[in-house]
Structure 1
Amino acid sequence: MMNVKWWIVYLMLLFGVQSMDVSAQPLAKDAVPFVGAQVFIEPGQTSSQIDGWFKTMAENGMTMCRIRMFESYMKQSDGHWDFSLFDMAFQSAARYGIKVYATLFPATAKTDIGGWKFPADDDQKNAFALFIKALVTHYKKYPALAGWVIINEPGTDGNYPHTDFVDKARSQWDGLYPERDYKENGFPVLMTVRDQQFIHDFTADFLKWIALEIKKYDDSHDVHVNPAGVFTNYGEYNFPVWRNFLSSLGGSAHPSWHFGYFSRTQYSLAMLVLSELLRSGAGPLPWFMTEIQGGNNTYSGVNALCPTANEITQWLWTILGCEGKGGIFWMLNPRSSGIEAGEWAMIDFQGKPSERLRAAKQVASVINRHADLFRSPHIIPSGIDVVYLKESLWAENLMGRKQDKYQGRMYGAVIKSSIACFKALTERGLNVGLKAIDEYDFSQVDYTGRSIILSNQIAVPAFYKERLERFVARGGTLFVEGLTAFFDEELHNTMNTGFTFEKLFGSNISEFILRENLFTTTVGQYAFPTHLWEGRICGETSPVHIHSFGKGKVIWCPSNVALGAWVSGNYKPLSDYLYESLPKISDIIAFRDYQSDVLLRTLKSGNVTLMICINKSAEARTIALNGLSSSSGTPYPIYASEGCSVMDGELIMAPEGVLVVKW
């Protein structure tokens, strides 16, 4: 018998009724993951075209879409809105069982492809409020509606927006947080990160305002946002605060726009790093990738790219391997005009599925066949987390350079260092976490078997001293690398003004010496390629100082061995050292030895262990595993690229291959 809920939907569609919401609820943590795409709606399209796109989605396993709700295409000269063009899309979506995330896109210049992030003045804010009311009250009862993307891609890319609206807010913020000229110990404050701190706070405030405006009229559907350019913009994002007004978190992942720190072969690594960062940011909320590059960018974007079918597959499985609830590709159909005209699509100009869309369909089919397995899998933690600080990015943006012959002096060095450690341990098969320090749980009574990596986090505020000391004293291991804590939160050199972490680290720095772009740091059997600076610890002849503190310890290497791995491309010494030196949770599964350019995520779903492995190297690999027991059972591949299999407990991986195994 037809489900009653969908029978009601059928009758509503049959009679053209769009006045009842029979399934409104935020995205659930135990929802079956989805695969979807952006359907780009613009004037000139016909109802048959729009209906055909949704039919194509349904035929290719897609159950979710995103639609940019252009106020410019709705607002009429008399001040009212004509929703008829977008109504056709919502009606077609419901006809084919596809849910819609509607992105608020207030009126902006014709050439503005990303939309404004803050209003220019109070008039524009008030106009936005009126648009929110009109849009939300019109669509909240449409059966196809899944949720609201409250604004497209928040983030300024470091461009402080001097508008009347922002400057007024800044004046109020300055009144709450007055600037000071001297530190408590008398040292002058000559450089500040006040601009960065304000944008960080104000972004959260403005996003909250939008979310609350939506909830005035609709408190049933999902409220979502997709930060973009996260590797450069993370200093503007306060995810723990965002959780208070969102019901899910997302992100944008366009290699052409956002993966500039990575080579083409590292794009799946970049997707993994971003996914893990967003998973941590979401905390208890579900997350999914709101935008994934789905097609060719011809003239737009920074780097020209057309993803391969293999990359589409790898990116989707990477997101699923980080507990993501799905991914939406940008986009299904190409837009007709503007800088992105004819670009990004997953269908060709005749409306037929590309090989990229067919690849996405294959993943969707596996998800649907094993729906219960993918409802709520949980990553099996290794106990190791790479922790980054927004203050380090702020300091780097003030002190560093856009271009320099040394990467350590350029923008990006602090996040590249963190990613280098993440990559090194991932290539041992470990589930390594990546999170902001404010997202780490410092409230536990015992951190035995837990490790934190602070890699070249050049600015560490003094107020983190207590949290880090508590972590180590309660049994944790802290690995500190590079120029970590060189500055405080106000860009004073900490070694010169009273080193806050001397008690925890067990010493101080005598000096940092410029050596070479690459030189070797030797610690026992390990020879690390090292970039630029050699840090010398007072009273220590070894480049590494190990200090016991309470029940735990600090391993301090104040030379840039992580950037050395990044610059040289040789991660094995760093990987081997970290794997052997850092405590791990006892029951983890890992590679028996180092596997360059191979990614693994291991999850638990009920009594089933789920492994997702991706081989980005140019050679076939046979990979032995540690941590399997006789109780692990017989492995069963639920997805395998050509040339990939599992045999006698080993993973057989072809180049560019993906293998998904349940045990």
Structure 2
Amino acid sequence: MSKELNKPILGTVYMVEENLTIERQFKDLENIKSKGLNTIVMWPPISPWDSKDGVSIAFDTVDKIMDKCDQLDLDVIVELEGQNPSFQFAPDYAYKAEHTTVSDRARHWVNYYHPEVKEAMKKYIQQIAHHYKDHPALLGYDVFNEVNFHSTDTYTEKAFRTWVEKKYKSITDLNKIWKRFYTEFDQILIQNFSFNYSKWSSLRHLLDFEEFRADSIQNFVKQWGDTIREIDDEHLIIADNSWSMTTFDTTILGNDDWKISSVVDSFGLSVYPQSWDVRLREDPCSIAQIYRGGISAGNDYSNKPIIISELQTHNQTALSKGSSVFDEIKLWTWQAFTHGATGLIYWKWNPFTSGFQVSGRGMTSSDGTPNQRADQAKECADILNEYPAYFVNRKVYNNEVYILYNPECDRFSDMVLPDDPNAYRNAIAKWYKHLWLKGLQPRFIKPEEINNLNVTKDSIIIAPFLSMVSQQTSLDIKDFIKKEGNMIVDGRFAIIDENGFAYEEAPGNLMDVFGYKEDDYLSPHIHDEITFDRFSKVHLTNGTSTLNTSDGDPIMVKNKNTLYLTIPFGIDKEYAPITDAIDNFIDNHLNKSILVTQKSAETDVVITHGKGLMISVVNYHASETEIRVKVNKKGQLKNLTKDIICHLTDNMVTIVIPGRDIACVVIE
């Protein structure tokens, strides 16, 4: 490919608009360049208002934008799908009622499974690729921005039946697992899935539909990318999800980060820390988890470069409350590159000029004058532009610590906990924060990755609130432990298999590994001065109890290189003896060749390998802070950031960072 990501990308979405003069838009592009940005994501990719009839495909204005970008040495990512489809492949004059999704949660009204929509999309993508493939400013195509799909129409239902038949092969096997009585796969009706007594017998059909949605989105992205590659195999294919699936409900959009990253050249995330009822402005840990989750799914799993495809710039809407952005652009931006992102795109350059978000977002005033948010972006751009080779092909150092994330268990937990729908993700977040506060940056893995890990005696997997464990995962866990890996599990661990059937003995097929058998589940359970919200009553098999309740029930079970907690640590009450035991277990098994030894709760510290050993710090606190990192590498300490005190003495790096600032040093 002619334009690989051999330098860091820092850019902005630029909406080409009919109501702005071309002179104004050229000035915008010049301002973007003056702030050190090197890329725009251009949408829409066509300018139908230029056509003779005002509605057909035309390229006059967008071509002028492309040519101006080439003149300014700005790269362009052309965005094909993910915004208003009327500007893309589904103009209103060609739209039919039957093209509509049947859904209570779809973001887009166009049904990708409808055969006429499929053909329209293919033709549209071919036109775009043929038109742009030889343009010198082109970097790539974002084929699907903020991937999502949900519909229960007849075309989608037909595709789902085909998916189900491929999975189960036999209608008898399907009936046994779904607890149904079909004679043919064509009898499956999605409409009756959500009724109470449909869910009462089994949840597998609902879990299958969610998995089908994720597979559908993956297939759409692959098909659209393949259509481009038949015409242009020189430029990047990109698709992006919203947030990280480790942090937000996947059933809203139907996304799967791991699946999307496997079929593109570069994987992206949209991140809005202060929008849509999300308030993470002063929460460096939660933002770190979003970035870390995306990096785990893309860079670590698929070995694909990660781009933060949309980062919030300012207010959600003209009249919204609490969504303003002040000095956070610099912190959020640097935190992304700190975690190994190769690129970041701001949403967006100009504020909206119309619609629901009119005057919202943007790095300029309404007349196009860049503001303080653009200035913050320039501070980051100056570093990236001066040292580009240091910010590509980086891998986060995770001290061989992993958090096991199971999307199916995530969805299952939401289904059986309608009054506490975020319990599984809250458990994941609490464990991540516990490790993050120690300066550790665990990698998130899905169950199928366990068998591919390079296991050593220092490897640690933590499996929060993992009630659903498949037969295959049980075997992989056994093999991991046999290779001297270490594991912490908690709560009602491995009580059901992948089809939602309860194991007769829990933890399923793993009693010899973890040293206990579950006898009962109690909520609440009173222990001396504390009452646990959820408690698994167990008896020991070949494990040892290291902490008991006042009536003698084990709270923690140790067995060789495993630790089991009878309460779900991530969502139950804090209890010092449990926390201490966790810390002791981690400390005894942790790979400490490189180790953060001092940090504050307001600083994100990330160590990455690439060109040199890089230590990056983002300080959210208003005051100066000092961090220390023990390293295993000798060499020269190079400071990539200004006004930062740092030194390397006896394998200890000390960095002093001013309040609300960033630091980046490299040992070469």
Q: TM-score, normalised by structure 1?
A: 0.82
Letter in 2 for 1:601: V
Instruction: Specify the alignment match of 2:123 in structure 1.
Output: 130
Instruction: Specify the alignment match of 1:95 in structure 2.
Output: 71
Report the secondary structure of 2:332's partner residue.
helix
Instruction: Specify the alignment match of 2:646 in structure 1.
Output: 646
Q: Does 1:661 align with 2:668?
A: no
Instruction: Specify the alignment match of 1:3 in structure 2.
Output: none
Letter in 2 for 1:276: R
Instruction: Specify the alignment match of 2:475 in structure 1.
Output: 466
CA contact (8 A) 2:398 2:441 kept: yes
Which of 294, 303, 306 pairs up with 1:278?
Answer: 294
Instruction: Specify the alignment match of 1:335 in structure 2.
Output: 352
Give deviations 1:235-274, integer Å, cap 9, x for gaps: 74445544553111111111244783x64321x3233212
Give deviations 1:335-389, integer Å, cap 9, x for gaps: 2111121111011123222111111111110112122222333323310011100
Letter in 1 for 2:37: M
Q: Does 1:482 align with 2:491?
A: yes
Report the secondary structure of 1:182's partner residue.
helix
Letter in 1 for 2:128: L
What does 1:179-578 align with in structure 2 at a 5 Å threshold?
A: 180-182=174-176, 190-192=202-204, 193-229=207-243, 230=245, 231-234=247-250, 236-257=254-275, 260=278, 263-266=280-283, 268-282=284-298, 283-298=302-317, 304-309=322-327, 311-401=328-418, 404=419, 410-438=420-448, 440=449, 442-443=451-452, 446-494=455-503, 499-515=508-524, 532-539=533-540, 540=545, 541-548=553-560, 553-564=561-572, 573=579, 577=583
CA contact (8 A) 1:295 1:307 kept: yes
Q: CA deviation at 1:308?
A: 2.0
Which of 597, 600, 605 pairs up with 1:600?
Answer: 605
How many aligned residue pairs are there?
Answer: 602
Return closer, same or farther for 1:573/1:659 CA change in 2, 3 Å cut-off.
farther
Task: Tell me, in whole angstroms, the C-alpha distance in 2 between the residues paired with 1:433 and 1:521.
Answer: 36
Letter in 2 for 1:585: N
Report the secondary structure of 1:255's partner residue.
coil
Return closer, same or farther for 1:71/1:412 CA change in 2, 3 Å cut-off.
farther
Q: CA deviation at 1:392?
A: 1.0
CA contact (8 A) 1:422 1:434 kept: no
Letter in 2 for 1:389: N
Task: Tell me, in whole angstroms, the C-alpha distance in 1 between the residues paired with 2:110 and 2:306.
Answer: 22
Task: Tell me, in whole angstroms, the C-alpha distance in 2 between the residues paired with 1:94 and 1:618.
Answer: 41
What does 1:29-68 align with in structure 2 at a 5 Å threshold?
A: 31-68=6-43
Return closer, same or farther for 1:601/1:584 CA change in 2, 3 Å cut-off.
same
Q: CA deviation at 1:578?
A: 6.3
Instruction: Specify the alignment match of 1:19 in structure 2.
Output: none
Instruction: Specify the alignment match of 2:98 in structure 1.
Output: none
Report the secondary structure of 2:562's partner residue.
strand
Q: CA deviation at 1:501?
A: 2.5
For structure 1, the 5+ residue unaligned runs are: 1-23, 405-409, 523-528
Task: Tell me, in whole angstroms, the C-alpha distance in 2 between the residues paired with 1:128 and 1:304.
Answer: 38
Report the secondary structure of 1:494's partner residue.
coil
Letter in 2 for 1:279: I
CA contact (8 A) 1:638 1:661 kept: yes
CA contact (8 A) 2:467 2:494 kept: yes
Report the secondary structure of 1:142's partner residue.
coil
Task: Tell me, in whole angstroms, the C-alpha distance in 2 between the residues paired with 1:420 and 1:171.
Answer: 38
Give deviations 1:390-424, integer Å, cap 9, x for gaps: 111120232122xx4xxxxx122212211221121
Task: Tell me, in whole angstroms, the C-alpha distance in 1 between the residues paired with 2:233 and 2:72.
Answer: 25
CA contact (8 A) 2:641 2:665 kept: yes
Q: Does 1:27 align with 2:4?
A: yes
Instruction: Specify the alignment match of 1:407 in structure 2.
Output: none
Letter in 2 for 1:604: H
Mean CA deviation greater in 225-234 or 469-478: 225-234
Q: CA deviation at 1:288?
A: 1.1
Mean CA deviation greater in 645-654 or 57-66: 645-654
Task: Tell me, in whole angstroms, the C-alpha distance in 2 between the residues paired with 1:572 and 1:146.
Answer: 51
Letter in 1 for 2:326: T
Task: Tell me, in whole angstroms, the C-alpha distance in 2 between the residues paired with 1:264 and 1:501.
Answer: 42
CA contact (8 A) 1:495 1:508 kept: no
Q: Does 1:145 align with 2:138?
A: yes
CA contact (8 A) 2:46 2:58 kept: no
Instruction: Specify the alignment match of 1:69 in structure 2.
Output: 44
Q: CA deviation at 1:545?
A: 0.9
Q: TM-score, normalised by structure 2?
A: 0.82
CA contact (8 A) 1:121 1:164 kept: no
Give deviations 1:169-192, integer Å, cap 9, x for gaps: 112223323463335999x96222
Instruction: Specify the alignment match of 1:162 in structure 2.
Output: 152
For structure 2, the 5+ residue unaligned runs are: 93-104, 181-199, 546-552
Letter in 1 for 2:565: C
Task: Tell me, in whole angstroms, the C-alpha distance in 2 between the residues paired with 1:161 and 1:495.
Answer: 37
Mean CA deviation greater in 273-282 or 648-657: 648-657
CA contact (8 A) 2:75 2:139 kept: yes
CA contact (8 A) 2:617 2:662 kept: yes
CA contact (8 A) 1:448 1:475 kept: yes
Which of 614, 618, 622 pairs up with 1:614?
Answer: 618
Report the secondary structure of 1:44's partner residue.
coil
Report the secondary structure of 1:348's partner residue.
coil
- For the aligned residues, what is the CA RMSD? 3.4
Report the secondary structure of 1:91's partner residue.
helix
Task: Tell me, in whole angstroms, the C-alpha distance in 1 between the residues paired with 2:496 and 2:340.
Answer: 35
Report the secondary structure of 1:535's partner residue.
strand
Task: Tell me, in whole angstroms, the C-alpha distance in 2 between the residues paired with 1:182 and 1:498.
Answer: 23
Report the secondary structure of 1:298's partner residue.
coil
Return closer, same or farther for 1:195/1:507 CA change in 2, 3 Å cut-off.
same
Give deviations 1:567-600, integer Å, cap 9, x for gaps: x7999947971674462224112124x7323211
CA contact (8 A) 1:66 1:102 kept: yes
Letter in 2 for 1:289: I
Report the secondary structure of 1:250's partner residue.
strand
CA contact (8 A) 1:149 1:225 kept: yes
Give deviations 1:280-299, integer Å, cap 9, x for gaps: 21221111111110122125
Task: Tell me, in whole angstroms, the C-alpha distance in 2 between the residues paired with 1:72 and 1:569.
Answer: 61
CA contact (8 A) 1:481 1:557 kept: yes
Report the secondary structure of 2:266's partner residue.
coil
Q: CA deviation at 1:307?
A: 1.9
CA contact (8 A) 2:520 2:537 kept: yes
Task: Tell me, in whole angstroms, the C-alpha distance in 1 between the residues paired with 2:512 and 2:52.
Answer: 66
Report the secondary structure of 1:150's partner residue.
strand
Report the secondary structure of 2:554's partner residue.
coil
Mean CA deviation greater in 114-123 or 97-106: 114-123
Mean CA deviation greater in 177-186 or 353-362: 177-186
Task: Tell me, in whole angstroms, the C-alpha distance in 2 between the residues paired with 1:258 and 1:575.
Answer: 38
Task: Tell me, in whole angstroms, the C-alpha distance in 1 between the residues paired with 2:518 and 2:13.
Answer: 52
Give deviations 1:51-109, integer Å, cap 9, x for gaps: 11110110000001111226684687698511112112212211211111111134358
Which of 584, 587, 607 pairs up with 2:593?
Answer: 587
